Amino acid sequence: MSELKKLYPACEAYRSGYLDTGDGHQIYWELCGNPVGKPAVFIHGGPGGGIASYHRRLFDPKKYHVMLFDQRGCGRSKPHASLENNTTWHLVEDIERLRQLMGVEKWLVFGGSWGSTLSLVYAQTHPQHVSELILRGIFLLRPQELHWYYQDGASNFFPDKWQRTVSILSEEERKDVIKAYNKRLTNHDLRVQLEAARLWSLWEGETVTLLPSNSVECFTEDEFALAFARIENHYFINEGFMNEEQQLLNNIDVIRDIPAVIIHGRYDMACRVQNAWDLAQAWPEAELHIIEGAGHSFDEPGILHQLISATDRFAAQ
């Protein structure tokens, strides 16, 4: 077997700034790589996760010109953990304005987890501006996917971790965990918000990798957890602000001709492999890779190898 591909060496952003949305948000963005290279945009997960320096390393810095940004309310974007004017459609508009700021007509769109959701929504809204799609850890925001991860599904594989997650809820509240957490995450008392945020965030941090990871520590840091939990729960209780339940699958014809790679871990507990399978069945023109021995996280070896292989291949197109 050939050696697995790894992240490119560290790459610094050469330019950064804030996009004023005009409705109360300042979106942090940065550019890295070759200013005359292939344009690409990196769309992070969550919602509410934010970007990190290692995300730049998914692209060959000599061949790519990459836009990365923190979505509304998270990372370095301001105001922190804000839910006001924070919907999928606001984010789609932000991405389009960032494309215009970058000064490109088309770009490769790369997104994982919630980032795959937002990538699909953006591509289906602005297909003329998408050259290729690289999608990892597919999340289609259907009710059954939310029920699996936050009600009755993944909890059966992590009963100890789930018991801790619901420990602050009454038996009645446990019948609708997303709703119960929403009440706490929007409580007027910051202490109540933080208690819930840490538990919500830790549940995800401990279940997104096939094997335990040291990176779980960042999920319980107050600043990260508050934005991550509040924004994620806000999107989920509103079912992603989608217009219809099967929207992303129903609109595949809009993007059918865009070259696409779908990458998903076989043992992904956060977003089941069925999601990727359903997407590929609706979109057979896309290239599907199911990674054995992998969970949800982008940096699990087999997943990372396919991601780098995809960015390398598209760099020449």
Q: In which element (H, E) is residue 28 found?
A: strand 26-33
Token pair for 297: 């996280």
Nearest to 64, CA basis, from 275, 254, 309, 312: 312
DSSP state of 210: S
Contacts of residue 116, Cβ cutoff 8 Å, sequence gap at least 6? 135, 136, 137, 138, 139
Distance CA(266)–CA(279), nearest Å, equals 15
Query: What is the DSSP code string of 165-196?
Result: HTTTS-TTGGGSHHHHHHHHHT-S-HHHHHHH
- Residues serving a catalytic function are 113, 268, 296
Phi, psi of 122 (to 5 degrees): -60, -45
Question: 68: helix, coil or strand?
Answer: strand
Phi, psi of 43 (to 5 degrees): -115, 115
The three state secondary structure string of 242-308 is: CCCCCHHHHCHHHCCCCCEEEEEECCCCCCCHHHHHHHHHHCCCCEEEEECCCCCCCCCHHHHHHHH
Query: What is the DSSP code string of 128-143?
Result: GGEEEEEEES-----H
Distance CA(223)–CA(228), nearest Å, equals 9
Token pair for 267: 């043992």
Token pair for 296: 């949800």
